[in-house]
Amino acid sequence: MKPLFFKELRQGLTWAFAVLAIMTIAAIYFAWDVTRPGRYVPPFERFQQWSVVACPLAGLFLGVLHVLTEKRRDLWAFLVHRPMSRTTIALAKMSAGLVLYFLAVGLPLAAANAWLAMPGHVPAPFYWPMVLPGLADVLTGSVYYLAGLLVGMRDARWYGSRVLAVGVAIICSVIVVSVWYFWLALLAIIVAAGVLGVAAWGSFVGGGQYGPQPLAAKAALGASLLAGIAIVFVIGGMVLAAIAGAAATGPGTRTTYRITRDGEVVRLVRDRWNRAIEITNLDGTHNRPLEREAQESDRWYAMFLGTDTVVIPDESEPDPNRAHGYRHADTFYRHVGGVGQTQWLYSFRERLVLAFDLERTVLVGRLGPTEYRAPPESPVQRFGESIVSTWGNVLVFEDVVYRLKPRERTIATMIAPAGERVLALTALRSRDHNEFVVVTDRTVRFMTRDGEVLTAADIEHDLVRYGYLQFAATENPQRFFVWYSPSHRPCVEALELPGDLIVYGPNGALVARHELPAIPRQYSGSTWYDVALGLTVPLAAMGTAFVVTRALGESSFDPDGPIRADVVYGVMSLMAIACAVVTMRLARRYAFSRGRRWGWSVFNFFAGPMGLALLWCLRDWPARLPCDACGKKRVTNRDRCEHCDSAFPSPAPDGTEIFE
Amino acid sequence: MDDFVIQTKGLSRCFGSRTVVSDLDLAVPRGCIFGFLGRNGSGKTTTIRMLLGLLEPTRGEARVLGEDSRALSETARSRIGYMAEGHPVYDWMRIGECGRFQAACFRSWNESIFRAVLEHFRLGPERRARELSRGERAGLCLALTLAPEPELLILDDPALGLDPVARRSLLEAMIAVTRGKDRTILFSSHLLGDVERVADWIAVLDRGVLRASCTLATFQRRISRFVLAWDGSPPPDTPTLPGLVHAFRDGRELQLTIANVDDRVRAAVGSLGASSVQEVPIGLEDAFIDYLGDRGEKNLLLPDPEATP
């Protein structure tokens, strides 16, 4: 294997150098971009924008080239006809290719991270877990490398199923950028690399054909193609949904409650084009003046107060205030303000506010709850561990809310409610973000920037059931609105609970209280959309979604919502039966064995049109020729006719045969 | 020990609905130089690729050195030398590197054979493969194929694209190295001179169908040529004769090449009404050309310009 490994290494060196050069140039560009004087560009995110795209592209490019250049008939024969197993040759090829890929991509990325890690290069702190997103991207690129090998190896048409194998890698990418924890990303990469590695190995062993492959490789290839097919179906489904949505025939109206600028509560009905078509008071009477105004103006929403929403974090979520994922800078620090050339970042790790000079890209100071210190000194006291959130230059902890004063390089306490736990904070849009609402487990407070409480009221509902709060305020008369809406979290039935809108005056005086009945969910879709959904989504996907959502205790899967479940399930069932029947006929036509015939039919009953597409892409379909004995069409790859069991006739002698 | 190094049974390969190799029953005796003949597209390369497990047969089976061709073991592969028709080598390698790479992959490697063949083609180890001419490239490939001293040598059109000098040189090298040992060579070609020079057993493929498999002597013995002359004009249609492989009209003469001539055929030829019938000797090259050409009525039979309409 050693000579082959070194041969592969040498062979791929040119392309790897090309990738290395491009990656290095890109790294230099991004380094220049994040250090351009006078502006703050978050370096952590900026480098990820590069690595998340560049690594997969580099992997795919190297993978396809690594095999395609050698797939020419004679050179391929020269490669594989030697006294070693194809598995050995495949392993040598893959390992050399991966080494080249990791060098070409990993070196510039490692250099970029080392550069980021050195103080004085970027106006932001660096912590070692920040290399994890780049590492995940490099590893994801190796999945694309294997996908590239598979794409290059398979004997399929470029405009057919050849590129579908990249589907697994795309899904892997989506998971890697979506999950919160690096270990989950790593798990996804290992699984995807495993599937694609086995599929690429199988295709190598089979010389690009499906038939000669080992069973595990066939399964892996099937999984790879199915992922690609699923992506094609999702995109196709979205196009169909867009077309069906445009041809929607249902009423398509949406009803919501709104607060007018005068503080009245009304019910607003909008059509599918977002036009206000009906405005009624809570007693059901039409609010003609508002309706007229809405019809005369396109900007009907200006008639209503904008509300600001707070979703109370679910206690069951792990570290609800901090878990922003391993790829987000928020996991490490958050931008909390900037004045002139100084940017202020709250470091979750150091529990201090850090000041960076944008011109010199250096740390110029650290601010604690009591003091500011220039480096190398550091404040003695740090902020608490229980940070809830930040809003602009306001830092919210469970026991205290601070406001940063960058010019003075100090921090002021806005409120420290004794015996209460701060749950959330938001700034009021209706008051140009100059006033805030602080929600604790017991009280809602409307307050100014300087900490003056304008009004305060007790929490009126259980925040698990009513975890969705909206706030607004009016100046004249001074009114404060607290609107409790049910959360779907406990159960979907909770959405049937009425909303509760409470209006307060200054100093917590109750002015009014409105019970807002739940608005019945109505079918607003299109039958064509439902039919399209039933046609494309297989039973297995719907069943899995149903089981998973139930198992997770989620209730968001609600077939009675915007779709007509009877239409969807009906079409889906008919499609499942049709796919199974078509598969059975195909299998008979191409003389599958009894087990394969039934296996594929049952699979396609659940996998629907995706399974049918998979079957079509996966197998080498033999030609069918008329049988000389019975006249029926028979497959060419069987020794005997599947209809009459006669053998293929030997070529007719013409009398010129000369045999010893 | 098995008498045949290659045996196929009903070996067939289809590409779509086109059958490229049809029901091939072939046996290659051990120790012979086996010429595998056929025109372009007759299925020679496809057969060889199936024999080496590089292509899956659509039907039938092949055994090479006693093993199923679809699953040749590493040991079997080490006993088979294969030279593909395009003379493939890695362009970026130097000749010396090619040798070292191949030597590291094969269990047995005779460096003196490698060097001898390189010297025969005047190839220095420092030259890059991409700089070689076609003939030199073929020489390098031959050196790489012969140096492991394979028991069975399969050469797919080794002289393809070479000038006569390079071709002769290649054949000389091939014969020099392989003759005198218990070694079998199967080589495909459509260059008849090459076959005549080296082969002692031949097989002929015609559009995927095996038409002949015999010794060279048998082949020459079983092909006959008749020259028929008429006083007037000869019959306008090609005569229907068993074993007719070729017909050529030259004025009032008709030349017929016929396989497997027996008394019955001779009688049929005699009954064509010609004023004279001569059975003339035919050279091997002519026999090959006629045999490999299109059969029967597909031959261009020009009408006699002097004949009255």
Using one digit for the tens of pLDDT, what is the confidence trace for A51-89?
Answer: 999 999 999 999 999 988 888 778 888 898 989 999 999
* Chain A: closest CA distance from residue B103 (Å): 9
Which residue from A minimizes the CA distance to B210?
A657
The band of A492, judged by pLDDT with boundaries at 50, 70 and 90, is low
Residue A78 to residue B84, Cβ atoms within 8 A: yes
Which among B88, B92, B213 has CB closest to A660?
B213
Six-digit token string for A21: 């050069």
Per residue, what are the HEC states of A177-221?
A: HHCCCHHHHHHHHHHHHHHHHHHHHHHHHCCCCCCCCCHHHHHHH
* A-B C-beta contacts closer than 8 Å: 128
Crossing angle for the helix pair A86-117 and A73-80, nearest 10 degrees?
100
pLDDT given for residue A199 in this prediction: 95
Which among B14, B219, B259 has CB closest to A623?
B14
Mean pLDDT of A190-203: 96
Least confident window among A339-353, A615-629, B255-269, B280-294: B280-294
Six-digit token string for A589: 């036509």
Using the Cβ of A292 and the Cβ atoms of chain B, whether some distance falls under 8 Å is answered with: no
Which residue from B minimizes the CA distance to A624?
B17
Residue A83 to residue B212, Cβ atoms within 8 A: no
Q: Mind listing the pLDDT tens digit for each residue in A159-183?
A: 788 899 899 999 999 999 988 889 9
More confident residue, A578 or A318: A578
The band of A245, judged by pLDDT with boundaries at 50, 70 and 90, is low
Q: Mind listing the pLDDT tens digit for each residue in A11-45?
A: 899 999 999 999 999 988 888 887 776 666 777 78
Is the pLDDT at A330 greater than 50? The verdict is yes
The band of A654, judged by pLDDT with boundaries at 50, 70 and 90, is confident
CA distances from B46 to B11, B34, B67, B210 (A): 11, 17, 19, 13
The band of A403, judged by pLDDT with boundaries at 50, 70 and 90, is very high
Using the Cβ of B122 and the Cβ atoms of chain A, whether some distance falls under 8 Å is answered with: no
Is the pLDDT at A559 greater than 50? The verdict is no
Instruction: Provide, as residue numbers in chain A, all residues whose Cβ is less than 8 Å from the Cβ of B17.
Output: 623-625, 636
Residues A444 and A583: their CA atoms lie apart, in Å, by: 62
% of chain A at pLDDT higher than 90: 35
Instruction: Provide, as residue numbers in chain A, all residues whose Cβ is less than 8 Å from the Cβ of B70.
Output: 212
Six-digit token string for A343: 């940017």
Mutate to test the interface with A, among B77, B97, B245, B297 (most CBs of A within 10 A): B77
Mutate to test the interface with B, among A10, A11, A204, A656 (most CBs of B within 10 A): A656
Per the CB < 8 A criterion, the answer to whether A253 and A528 are in contact is no
More confident residue, A3 or A194: A194
pLDDT given for residue B49 in this prediction: 93
Which among A2, A637, A657 has CB closest to B212?
A657
Residue B105 to residue A74, Cβ atoms within 8 A: no
Residue B260 to residue A660, Cβ atoms within 8 A: no
Using the Cβ of A85 and the Cβ atoms of chain B, whether some distance falls under 8 Å is answered with: yes
Which residue from B minimizes the CA distance to A84?
B74
Using the Cβ of B67 and the Cβ atoms of chain A, whether some distance falls under 8 Å is answered with: no
> B residues 198-227 near A, CB within 8 Å?
204, 208-209, 211-215, 218-219, 222-223
Which residue from A minimizes the CA distance to B214?
A660
Residue A81 to residue B80, Cβ atoms within 8 A: yes
> B residues 242-271 near A, CB within 8 Å?
242-245, 259-260
Which among B22, B52, B85 has CB closest to A651?
B22
Looking at the DSSP bridge assignments, the partners of residue A120 are: none
Residue B77 to residue A637, Cβ atoms within 8 A: no
Instruction: Provide, as residue numbers in chain A, all residues whose Cβ is less than 8 Å from the Cβ of B82.
Output: 77, 81
Residue A76 to residue B54, Cβ atoms within 8 A: yes
Can you say how many angstroms the Cα of residue A372 is from the centroid of all Cα atoms in its chain? Answer: 40
pLDDT given for residue A526 in this prediction: 64
The band of A558, judged by pLDDT with boundaries at 50, 70 and 90, is very low
Using the Cβ of B288 and the Cβ atoms of chain A, whether some distance falls under 8 Å is answered with: no
The rounded mean pLDDT for chain A is: 85
Angle (CA) A347-A350-A353 rounded to 5° is 45
* Residue given tokens 């970042």 in the structure block: A345
> B residues 160-189 near A, CB within 8 Å?
none
Give the closest residue to B287 by CA, choosing from B153, B198, B210, B195: B195
Mutate to test the interface with B, among A78, A620, A637, A648 (most CBs of B within 10 A): A78
Per the CB < 8 A criterion, the answer to whether A365 and A356 are in contact is no
Using the Cβ of A75 and the Cβ atoms of chain B, whether some distance falls under 8 Å is answered with: yes
Instruction: Provide, as residue numbers in chain A, all residues whose Cβ is less than 8 Å from the Cβ of B101.
Output: 3, 7
Give the closest residue to B251 by CA, choosing from B304, B212, B209: B304
pLDDT given for residue A603 in this prediction: 93
Using the Cβ of A639 and the Cβ atoms of chain B, whether some distance falls under 8 Å is answered with: yes
Residues B284 and B192: their CA atoms lie apart, in Å, by: 9
* Residue given tokens 């063949």 in the structure block: B117
> B residues 23-42 near A, CB within 8 Å?
23
Regarding beta strands A342-347 and B67-68, do their DSSP bridges make them parallel or antiparallel, or are they unpaired?
Answer: unpaired
* Residue given tokens 């940017």 in the structure block: A343
Which residue from B minimizes the CA distance to A636?
B58
Using the Cβ of B85 and the Cβ atoms of chain A, whether some distance falls under 8 Å is answered with: yes
Which residue numbers in chain B have pLDDT < 70?
Answer: 1-2, 177-181, 294-309
Per the CB < 8 A criterion, the answer to whether A379 and A408 are in contact is no
One DSSP character per residue, chain B reads: --SEEEEEEEEEEEETTEEEEEEE--EEETT-EEEEEE-TTSSHHHHHHHHTTSS--SEEEEEETTEEGGG--HHHHHTEEEE-TT----TTSBHHHHHHHHHHHSS---HHHHHHHHHHTT--TTSBGGG--HHHHHHHHHHHHHTT--SEEEEESTTTT--HHHHHHHHHHHHHHHTTSS-EEEEEES-HHHHHHH-SEEEEEETTEEEEEEEHHHHHHHEEEEEEE-SSPPPSSPP--TTEEEEEEETTEEEEEEES--HHHHHHHHTT--SEEEEE---HHHHHHHHHS--GGGS--PPPTTS--
Domains of chain B: 4-207 (3.40.50.300), 221-298 (3.30.70)
Q: Mind listing the pLDDT tens digit for each residue in A209-234?
A: 888 899 999 999 999 999 999 999 88
Sign of CA dihedral A391, A393, A397, A401: negative
Q: Mind listing the pLDDT tens digit for each residue in A117-149?
A: 888 888 888 888 888 999 999 999 999 999 999
* Residue given tokens 């490490």 in the structure block: A332
Reduced to 3 states (helix: H, G, I; strand: E, B; else coil), residue A254 is strand
Residue B101 to residue A623, Cβ atoms within 8 A: no
pLDDT given for residue B297 in this prediction: 43
Using the Cβ of B49 and the Cβ atoms of chain A, whether some distance falls under 8 Å is answered with: yes
Instruction: Provide, as residue numbers in chain A, all residues whose Cβ is less than 8 Å from the Cβ of B87.
Output: 74
Residue B77 to residue A77, Cβ atoms within 8 A: no
Reduced to 3 states (helix: H, G, I; strand: E, B; else coil), residue A123 is coil
Per the CB < 8 A criterion, the answer to whether A198 and A217 are in contact is yes
Q: Mind listing the pLDDT tens digit for each residue in A422-469?
A: 998 998 877 777 889 999 989 999 998 888 899 999 998 888 888 889
Is the pLDDT at A562 greater than 60? The verdict is no
Residue A623 to residue B86, Cβ atoms within 8 A: no
Residues A59 and A12: their CA atoms lie apart, in Å, by: 13
Is the pLDDT at A249 greater than 80? The verdict is no
